[in-house]
Structure 1
Amino acid sequence: MKSQEAELLPDLSKKVVKDITGFQLDSYAVALEGWRRGLELKWYSDETSLCDLHRLNSTTHGKFFSLSDGEKTHYFLRSRGDKVANKTVRICQNKEKTKSYMRKHNVPVPLGAALESDEEIINYANEIGYPVIIKPLSGSMGVGVYTNISDEQTLVNILKEVRKKYSYRRYLVEKHYEGNEYRIYVVGDKVIGATNRIPANVTGNGVDTIEKLIEIKNEERKQNPYLSPKPIKVDYEVTYMLERAGYTVTSVPKEGEQIFLREKSNLSSGGDPIEATDELSDEVKQIAVDSLKALPSIPHAGVDIIVESKDHTKGVVLEVNATAEIAFHLFPLVGKAKDIPGALIDYYFPETAGAERTPFYFDYLSILEPIKTGAIEEIKVAETPLNKKYAKKYTATGKLNRVGYMTKIKRFALERNLYGYAKKIDENTVDIFLIGESKEELDAFKEYVKKGSKKSVVKNIREKDLELSSKPRKTGFKIIT
């Protein structure tokens, strides 16, 4: 399964998010959607007193921003807006506490208990029966999670591994449920997207070893904006899974044979995000909606549910993610991307639903640079270019090489808030692509192109009216040499 099989949102292509990774990808997607609708966008440094959003013990750099329509302002940390209460974020960080809220509201959850000592964990696992799952009580991103543990000796070995590798003291021990696991994103009373997270795997071709197949799969993952920094790594769990199936990394699987490398389906450890919203029954979607209603003040979040393999109308809620990643809904490995950012902005600014949107996008990484260096505490992104609807191409010929011609043109364009680029074709020819709000300002620019710099000599200018397409374009003006 390759990322090329995915159908991305037309305004959120790989080019738009180039070099943006991790949680900043979530932040940018939501901020960009609001900005494209004409909302005022500001980014803030790590520390700000404007709005206290529980930061999940991590930096807020590049992830904390506000959107305003002039009358009201909402603050966001990654995908979470200020309507999600800090109290609920803390509840969701404690998986056992989250389950207690679910039980009170008759939302189905797995049988399990939070325990500390190895002896307690082993005794409880024996009591509820195998297979079981263990995971840190306050963990995230699948760290320290082991699933489908089939017997006591395997559990003992895994406990030795987790005690050596992690510092978590308390673990949640749960009954393992057979079925597909989904991350379901809910906004209000609606399921906006659902991803079937397939555990890390490779498919044999009858020639390459598993080790080589992992290399090939990792190269494919690099082509996906969300998966690129999340390769499959060969570790204890992978080795254990292969041994249990009678393989090693040097084994050569048969053509078409799928080899699973992990039990857990976390994407950060090599899993595949497969868009699966239409697979879900109405009953399972309702479980996801009800799980948010069971918690105080959380109108949107990601919900992890295992759907029973024998009855697709039933499932159990594993956890609720108050500050959920949304980028894998936007960049699935297979399937059609779901517009989570659009649904979030609709919720926080309903008056903008259906409003005109610009196809332009701004340079996120360069805007954040002064905040990163500590030069400023906040930065406002330039106003949304909703009115830039005219485009022309100018071709200038003459003495244009190494005489400051292109630099002068760029400065003029930026001063007048015109977008586009100047591209050197050869020693004597420069193409200029320009976008503006009126034909008059483009004509004025043509006169400046004729004049050029002090040392340049423009002999001829050809111009051509262009039809401005709706494909995404970056704001600003650049020089292409």
Structure 2
Amino acid sequence: MTTKNIQFLRITHLRGPNIWTYRPVIEAWVDIGELEHYPSNTIPGFYERLTAMLPTLAEHRCGVGEPGGFLMRLREGTWAAHILEHVVLELQNLAGMQTGFGKARMTSAHGIYKLAFRTRQEDVGRAALEAGRDLVMAAIEDRPYDVAGAVNQLRELCDKVCLGPSTAHIVDAASERRIPHIRLTGGNLVQLGYGTRQHRIWTAETDQTSAIAESIASDKHMTKGLLQSCGVPVPEGQEVDSAEAAWEAAQDIGLPVVVKPTDANHGRGVFTDLNTRAEIEKAYVAADAEGSGVLVEKFIRGDAHRLLVVGKRVVAATRGKMQTVTGDGRSTVRQLIESQINSDPRCGVEEEFPLEPLVLDKEPIAQLELERQGLTGESVPEAGRTILVKRQGDLAYDVTDQVHPQVASAAALAARVVGLDIAGIDLVAEDIGRPLKEQGGAIIEVNAGPGLLMHIKPAEGQPRPVGQAIVDHLFPGDDQGRIPVVGITGSQHTTRIARLVAWLLHINGTQVGLACQDGFFLGARQVDSADSIHWEAGQRLLINRSVEAAVLEHSNRAILSEGLAYDRCTVGVVTDLGNLDELSDFYIDDADRLYNVVRTQVDVVLPSGTAVLNAANPQVVEMAELCDGKVIFYGLDSELAAIATHRASGERAVFLRERQIILAQGMDEVSHVPLDSLAPAKAEKPEMVMAAVAAAWALGITPELIGAGLRTFNPTPKKNF
């Protein structure tokens, strides 16, 4: 076969619902050139080479609907764009970013396809697309390709730019509840919900997490004082300012003791079970280096535990395990740590691993434990000798079902005393299934922004749905964090419809945001006069904490080039399909393709929402069956077939009769609004007015208030907005 190639003509990240799916995708326009004449079954050895490179392609169902479906298509003969789609999806999966949606469709131009695939992060998706092309071409040309190297690069990119596993776990839980989310930064700051109904999270911190409470939690001495005053069991202790004072405090408290920083986190600089002056003074120096002060506390015997409190209850608990190695008479302690602790497949430096490697040079606590036993990292213990390396290991062993109710109550009280809505409560107890006072256990720390991975992916035990608990805490009951969102698509007076709907919401007492061709509006203020029919303007509305309802005008070009700014809408208005000639550069060159663009507005209407459709346009009428919610038809004539049939089935319609706008529910006429009472300029466009009236009615605005709004509306932005 002569040299062939796959060329990318355009790569676009569609960041919201689009012609392909409800979720963000990358759309690539692909020119496969001469490969159009060479489906997969005509390229000798291609099937064997590709499946050897990516054997997990066997799991892809493709259009067949069962595992192996794609390989069946590959054997029968399929084209390079379709093959690339599946390769890109699988590269993302292998990199740890699970996804499954993809499509490849021919355009009217020879050899040019539109390829779309789901990606959770744009940079990773683009990189997978480039790697996928290289892999497919290597399989076609029978040359080697470093699949493992490409996957590793993608995995590293995922680690760098994707949400961390804890934040992603919360976001996934929100998605299960149909709560929308917006990533606000390149980090882990995420908005759940829209406008005034939103909450923000930063891993395990929320917009309900008090800054004062965080400050209290970071001061261990203050925290202990508050807990003690409320009857929460805590260890006796003193804050000290020198190694000598630490020894004196230890004598007052009684040996053994714990020495730790007053404000360090993650167990750094915490030394336990200290019995001698030398140990205590050495621990003081190390603890002082980790924080701004040092505490000496009574040593509590037992295992370390972490209880996660969300709201007012414990939702998960883990226990730490003592880390030991066993001598073999040949290996050093350092080597034993590597072979017996760090070799555990659950152990790794990435956040996804539940256990952390034990690096002796970075663990002064472990060094002290060895010193107590007369050892160093280079010592060679005799065969069979058990060496204690770290008394309190990773808190990664689930014990949620074992927590005694009184222990859970004490932990929840500790979080409330400090003032945290989400807290990690560290306590020491010999048996988490018994009350603390009964066994001399105590709460030793209260942590803000606690890690979640130990509960999501414990080293042993059942994973806990802590993300769901956090989402339920922020959005109790059936709350989905949504505000009314109105989307308006078409070419017939859509800007004026958007302005009028926003005005009707405004006089209804709603703080409304509007993004349309006339500009960007917040309430009665025009913030920007530039054309705001674009994704960024829509996002600006949805992240604004003062916006109670949002109205967005859309163009077909914006849907094709960016996608919608929201995931679902309360009301979707479609006036018509627009001009086909304006979209020829998107390969939208027939009525069916144009229909698939415009229907996006109806596809995203919530089950509890309403589509407002032009009854005079047959193609728009067809979209009614695509709507998950209700439909209101509008038109100049009550005898239009769509309106008559709709009313006969008891549904709502808005139409014109004798210069009266009629709001009808089934065969009952709910209200009449005289068209002649409107300003002449508005009365000349009755279809526009009826579309806006139908949208307002769908939003629950009363007919009386709609009539008042129509009489007071002025289309000039400076006067009303």
The TM tier, using the shorter chain, reads 0.5 to 0.7
Tell me if the contact between 2:349 and 2:357 (Cα under 8 Å) persists in the aligned partners. no
AA at the equivalent of 1:260:
L
Would the alpha carbon gap of residues 160 and 223 (structure 1) be closer, same or farther in structure 2, given more than 3 Å must change? Answer: closer
Change (3 A) 1:35 1:20: farther
Q: Which of 148, 152, 165 is the equivalent residue of 2:273?
A: 148
DSSP-derived class of the 1:318 partner: strand
Asked whether 1:83 is paired with 2:211, we answer no
Give the helix-richer structure, 1 or 2. 2
Residues 366-411 of structure 1: per-residue CA shift (max 9 Å, x gap): xxxxxxxxx99999998669xxxxxxxxxxxxxxxxxxxxxxxxxx
CA distance in 2 between counterparts of 1:272 and 1:107 reads 22
What's 1:67 paired with?
A: 192
Please give the secondary structure, in 2, of the residue aligned with 1:140: coil
Give the 3-state SS of the residue equivalent to 1:294 in structure 2. helix
Q: Unaligned stretches of 5+ in structure 2?
A: 1-93, 99-154, 482-535, 544-563, 569-596, 601-625, 627-721
* Residues 275 and 20 (structure 1), Cα distance of their counterparts in 2 relative to 1, 3 Å cut: farther
Moved more, 242-251 or 34-43: 242-251
Q: Indicate the residue corresponding to 1:174 in structure 2.
A: 297
On the 8 A contact 1:125/1:132 being kept in 2, the answer is: yes
Q: Is the 8 A contact 1:210 1:253 kept in 2?
A: no
Map of 2:428 onto structure 1: 306
Q: Which residue of 2 aligns with 1:218?
A: 342
Query: Given that residues 415 and 423 in structure 2 are in contact (C-alpha distance below 8 angstroms), is that contact kept between their aligned partners in structure 1?
Result: yes
Say whether 1:44 aligns with 2:184. yes
Partner of 2:710: none
Q: Among 340, 356, 365, which residue is 1:237 paired with?
A: 365
Offset from partner CA, 1:89-135 (integer Å, 9 cap, x none): 11111111111211221111110122212222221111111111111
Look up the match of 2:443.
317
Q: Contact 2:396 / 2:454 at 8 angstroms: preserved in 1?
A: yes
Q: 1:237 Cα shift?
A: 2.9
> 1 CA distance for matches of 2:408 and 2:327?
35
Task: Kindly indicate whether the alpha-carbon contact (under 8 Å) linking 1:116 and 1:169 is maintained by their aligned counterparts in 2.
Answer: no
Q: Is the 8 A contact 2:397 2:459 kept in 1?
A: yes
Aligned-residue offset at 1:291: 1.0
Query: What is the number of residues matched between the two proteins?
Result: 338
Secondary structure of the residue aligned to 1:304 is strand
Q: Of 164, 189, 196, which residue of structure 2 is paired with 1:24?
A: 164
Equivalent residue number for residue 415 of structure 2: 292
Letter in 2 for 1:189: K
- Is 2:255 the partner of 1:130? yes
* Cα offset, 1:264, TM superposition: 4.1
**Residues 273 and 237 of structure 1: CA distance in aligned 2, closer, same or farther (over 3 Å):** same
CA distance in 2, matches of 1:83, 1:92: 15
Aligned to 1:262: 390
* 1:471 corresponding residue in structure 2: none
1:35 corresponds to which of 168, 172, 175:
175
Whole-Å separation in 2 of the counterparts to 1:76 and 1:311: 32
- Give me the CA root mean square deviation: 4.0
Query: Helix, strand or coil for the counterpart of 1:324?
Result: coil
Give 1:331's aligned residue. 457
After TM superposition, give the deviation of residue 154 of structure 1 in Å: 1.4
**Cα distance in 1, alignment partners of residues 196 and 432 from structure 2:** 51
Q: 2:228 aligns with which of 94, 103, 106?
A: 103
Distance 1:41 1:112, change over 3 A: same
Write the letter of the residue equivalent to 1:240. Answer: L
Q: Spell out, residue by residue over 1:416-443, the C-alpha distance to the aligned partner (whole angstroms, 9 max, x if none).
A: 99xxxxxxxxxxxxxxxxxxxxxx9xxx
Task: Tell me the secondary structure at the aligned position of residue 248 of structure 2.
Answer: helix
Give, as a single letter, the amino acid of the residue that structure 2 aligns with 1:218.
N
Once the 2 structures are TM-superposed, how far is the Cα of residue 302 of structure 1 from its aligned partner? 1.1
Distance 1:132 1:23, change over 3 A: farther
| CA shift for structure 1 position 350 | 2.2
Task: Output one character per residue of 1:120-164: Cα deviation in whole Å (capped at 9) or x when no partner.
Answer: 22211111111111111111122222111111121123334445x
Alpha carbons of 1:23 and 1:247: their partners in 2 closer, same or farther (altered >3 Å)?
farther
Q: Which moved more, 1:183-192 or 1:330-339?
A: 183-192
Change (3 A) 1:259 1:25: farther
The secondary structure found in structure 2 opposite 1:218 is coil
Percentage identity across paired residues of the two chains: 24
- Distance apart, 1:304 and its partner CA: 0.6
Q: Residue 698 of structure 2 corresponds to which residue in structure 1?
A: none
Greater Rg over alpha carbons, structure: 2
What are the equivalent positions in structure 2 for 1:257-406 lying under 5 Å apart?
Answer: 259-265=387-393, 271=394, 273-296=396-419, 298-308=420-430, 312-314=434-436, 315-352=441-478
Q: CA deviation at 1:334?
A: 1.0
For 2:447 and 2:383, locate their aligned partners in 1 and report how far apart those are by CA, in whole Å: 39
Distance in 1 (alpha carbons) for counterparts of 2:463 and 2:95: 12
CA contact (8 A) 1:209 1:252 kept: yes
Q: Hey, what's the Cα distance between the residues in 1 that align with 2:480 and 2:329?
A: 51
Structure 1 regions of 5+ residues with no counterpart?
1-12, 46-60, 266-270, 356-374, 386-414, 418-439, 441-481
2:450 aligned counterpart, secondary structure: coil
Q: Is the Cα–Cα contact under 8 Å of residues 348 and 355 in structure 2 kept in the other structure?
A: yes
Shift of residue 286, structure 1, vs aligned partner = 1.4
Q: State the TM-score, normalizing by the size of structure 1.
A: 0.61
